[in-house]
Structure 1
């Protein structure tokens, strides 16, 4: 089984010309989900990873499973206004405009080793914002892991340029 076969593609969503890569089918397939998590974790099995940070919302699902496998804590990175305690936020670029994400100020201690997780890397705006938040708190971003890479949009390359090793499992051309 190829992991790509477990990912549904929805043409023209959310707008014409976009091929939406839907991981809910992969999540619903126990073998594919297990394989994806195992493959994301593999390079760090046996390493000391303190935290896994997952980006809202699908990054929570995948990141929680990765954190469990690594015996690490899980840290949610959320859209502004969703976290209940003292936060640090960063604005990041979207295709049209800006948005903000935030993290609890006490979620990561200085020197902790952190893996960032989300379902997909496209332009990298959200992931780069998340890296900035983790680094502001003194965390060391060991890697960023994604099930899907859209290499034509350049996000994985941007993360690499920012000094973050990137692990992806499946690549799809286009947007």
Structure 2
């Protein structure tokens, strides 16, 4: 896909084809979303799709989890003109925090932390995969996805058809 091409029909998730496959091995995430962040219309449409389920909800703060959540969360906070709370890997914040264990994309067990003085009750979440953690989040919180139903099986198998444009073969990553 041409990096700057915007399709005439901008259906939900069109911008997901901008994401590149992992070519560095299992210690990295299965895809790289950085081309999406470089594409103005793609990023705008992604944010609009993620915000769709929350249109009627009062939102006072956006939180994002390390890496991809920092970028999308900060962009969403800017779009809504709200503050942004970074949820970080444990040990990076010098204020009172709450920590929670999690397992990352490479199956490493880690701790996340966030400052306690910025959060009030009421949580929503954004998930992209049908993983154990993603299903738990969807069962317990209001969720949004930018992955349309016809692409979910590709996301769950970590192999997008659009990866063919990068010369990636199934199972290469």
* Structure 2 CA distance for aligned equivalents of residues 35 and 105 of structure 1: 32
Query: For residue 22 of structure 2, what is the aligned residue in structure 1?
Result: 10
Task: Give 1:174's aligned residue.
Answer: 157
Runs of at least 5 residues in structure 2 that lack an aligned partner in the other structure: 1-6, 8-13, 159-173
CA distance in 1, matches of 2:132, 2:100: 21
Greater mean deviation of Cα atoms: 84-93 or 29-38: 84-93
Between the two proteins, the alignment pairs up a number of residues equal to 139
Distance 1:166 1:45, change over 3 A: closer
1:53–1:75: 8 Å Cα contact kept in structure 2?
A: yes
Q: Which runs of 5+ in 1 are unaligned?
A: 110-138
Instruction: Provide, for residues 135-175 of structure 1, a one-character-per-residue CA deviation record: whole Å limited to 9, x for no partner.
Output: xxxx211x2114xx232x343322122x2122111231314
1:84-163 matched pairs, under 5 angstroms? 84-94=94-104, 96=107, 98-109=109-120, 139-141=121-123, 143-146=124-127, 149-151=128-130, 153-161=131-139, 163=140
1:97 Cα deviation from its structure 2 partner: 5.0
**Match for residue 28 of structure 1?**
38
TM-score, normalised relative to structure 2: 0.70
Q: Which structure's relative contact order is higher, taking Cα pairs within 8 Å and 6+ residues apart?
A: 2
Deviates more, 1:82-91 or 1:4-13: 4-13
TM-score, reference length from structure 1: 0.69
What CA distance in whole angstroms lies between the structure 2 residues aligned with 1:45 and 1:70? 11
Aligned partners of 1:25, 1:48: CA distance in 2, in Å? 31
Give 1:75 shift: 0.7
Which structure: larger Rg?
A: 2
In structure 2, the CA distance between the partners of 1:154 and 1:88, relative to structure 1 (3 Å rule), is closer
Task: Name segments (4+ residues, structure 1) moved above 6 Å.
Answer: none
